[in-house]
Structure 1
């Protein structure tokens, strides 16, 4: 009987799918099967996966889905294992990722396990984005850490019970899945040394797009409304503060304290990440976190109300 299935869904990932497949095949604990779902690629993604199969790799290629949720559901539907480990393209798995992330399932200590993810930057900007937007493992409370779809393992029973990943969501589907599993009474835990490596966004435009869609997904799914309200209020206060700065110079000190608090953790991470760099390169990279924060926050403030309007329109249609 197949015990462990490793799955992913991909679309137009010809540039990086080989890195993911190589890291899957190099795992210290090999799955009983690997299921790759192609979600309508128009590039060479499917052909690259097929080339691995033709060389004898234990991979099954299936096709289906219209977004990441439906593609992931289709992969799981075709998987035979009672344990499912899920990841995504654009990543490389640490050699012991699978071994570590399924251990709590096999020991019957959990029903859903969150793995971790670490930035693998290839440029100075990517280094700054990784340090600014992603916590280190030692900064995370495992009891509150939610599983992301690119680094998670669960019993197939969990997926069956909650009705799979929500296909009405194009983003944040993994968080809604986690919440549904918790609401259904399943046990969850986090294994922070089960790591996947990812490349941060390589431009401010790509960063804006990423967080726009994350926030839009929050709005559609009605996730974290208080968090978003706090962000709007904070920036409104910032605008009011800046308007009165010339009349009340002491507000500059208040602004500086706020900025220091907001970027304290990013700077601590980035200081260590840039150790050994030349002075000029390091100073240039250390100037980026405030801009990264603002770009991300503006993207979220634009994306969230759009998602909220999408959810409102969907609700109106259902009432009619």
Structure 2
């Protein structure tokens, strides 16, 4: 089934580890868009070769023709365009892809994700029932393959019932919108290298656009797999918040919390270790939402299939959950330090 007047766009950069799995999920969809536009930002690894080989193996007579910086052909009735633009940032790549696309409805996701088989149907479904509707976002499941990724999922990924529709701000790993809305807000903000999707959301809301939430439009998002990558991820997000003048209140709360934490540690050293009891209470409150997600993450094969089904069972699972209770507060603190550092850095980088 081909969805008429629908284009799918994606940007890539050094995605050789994840691109094949993403493409598999793309072409296993119950419905496909009329057009696929891919922009590679100048990958230094084998991303582009893997991408082209994938399409060539998909259809034996698929012959990508080269013209300038574009590779293009038609695959089973789907127009495919592949660009390589060296140095293009995510926002620039997305805007270029949308300008190059023909569809009235634009669907967006990221490599590093896996699309649910009905994603295209669900992310475009609300448009069928309302002509006024211009933006739709879906629900993201974490994809965790080890203990650290599971703890990260519990720390940052809300359950469906936690999401408030009136405050919902979707990531562009799971989004669709009408071209007209994108044009009115001036596209993705190209001055931002990270956080551009949230700023895009704020710009849409400022123009009066409602963001529709469809929890059945599902994308699986691979969690970062080491502490260095996690720090870099949230540092960049917070830098984007500062550059885009977003979430000031959240970052002020984070800064104040760090001051309180430091004060309690100093008091426990200088005056009495009993002050550490306050730290335990604060950590418990701090980790309340992640704690409520532990069973949901650890026991959910959609999120942690390798942990749930193959490695962890019985006493081992109980032990893993217990360790998570102690580890999550420190992971949250680590993430907040990354955010605080990134936000301060972003303030210095901001010109106005």
Pair in the same fold by TM > 0.5: yes
Task: Report the alpha carbon displacement of residue 117 of structure 1 after superposing the two structures with TM.
Answer: 0.9
- List aligned pairs for 1:41-80, cutoff 5 A: 41-54=43-56, 55-56=58-59, 57=75, 58=78, 59-64=80-85, 66-80=88-102
Aligned to 2:127: 105
3-state SS of 2:81 partner: strand
Alignment partners' CA distance in 1, 2:13 and 2:199:
22
8 Å contact 1:114–1:147 — kept in the other structure? Answer: yes
8 Å contact 1:162–1:180 — kept in the other structure? Answer: yes
8 Å contact 1:85–1:154 — kept in the other structure? Answer: yes
8 Å contact 1:105–1:154 — kept in the other structure? Answer: no
Alignment partners' CA distance in 2, 1:100 and 1:44:
32
- List aligned pairs for 1:1-320, cutoff 5 A: 2-54=4-56, 55-56=58-59, 57=75, 58=78, 59-64=80-85, 66-108=88-130, 110-245=133-268, 247=271, 251-275=275-299, 276-277=313-314, 278=316, 279-311=318-350, 314-315=351-352
8 Å contact 2:153–2:297 — kept in the other structure? Answer: no
TM-score (norm 2): 0.84
Alignment partners' CA distance in 1, 2:322 and 2:249:
35
Alignment partners' CA distance in 2, 1:130 and 1:35:
30
What is the aligned residue count? 313
3-state SS of 1:70 partner: helix
8 Å contact 1:142–1:191 — kept in the other structure? Answer: no
3-state SS of 1:32 partner: strand
8 Å contact 1:2–1:82 — kept in the other structure? Answer: no
RMSD between aligned residues? 1.8
Task: Report the alpha carbon displacement of residue 197 of structure 1 after superposing the two structures with TM.
Answer: 0.5
Alignment partners' CA distance in 2, 1:117 and 1:274:
16
Unaligned runs of 5+ in 2: 60-74, 300-312
8 Å contact 1:115–1:191 — kept in the other structure? Answer: yes
3-state SS of 2:287 partner: helix
Structure that is richer in strand per residue? 2
8 Å contact 1:128–1:286 — kept in the other structure? Answer: no
Task: Report the alpha carbon displacement of residue 2 of structure 1 after superposing the two structures with TM.
Answer: 4.7
Task: Report the alpha carbon displacement of residue 63 of structure 1 after superposing the two structures with TM.
Answer: 2.6
3-state SS of 1:51 partner: helix
1:77-106 superposed Cα distances (whole Å, 9 cap, x missing partner): 111110000001111001111111111123
3-state SS of 2:278 partner: helix
Task: Report the alpha carbon displacement of residue 254 of structure 1 after superposing the two structures with TM.
Answer: 2.8
Out of 184-193 and 246-255, give the one that drifted further: 246-255
1:217-242 superposed Cα distances (whole Å, 9 cap, x missing partner): 11111111121111111111121122
Alignment partners' CA distance in 1, 2:220 and 2:4:
27
Task: Report the alpha carbon displacement of residue 17 of structure 1 after superposing the two structures with TM.
Answer: 0.6
8 Å contact 1:53–1:60 — kept in the other structure? Answer: no
Task: Report the alpha carbon displacement of residue 250 of structure 1 after superposing the two structures with TM.
Answer: 5.4
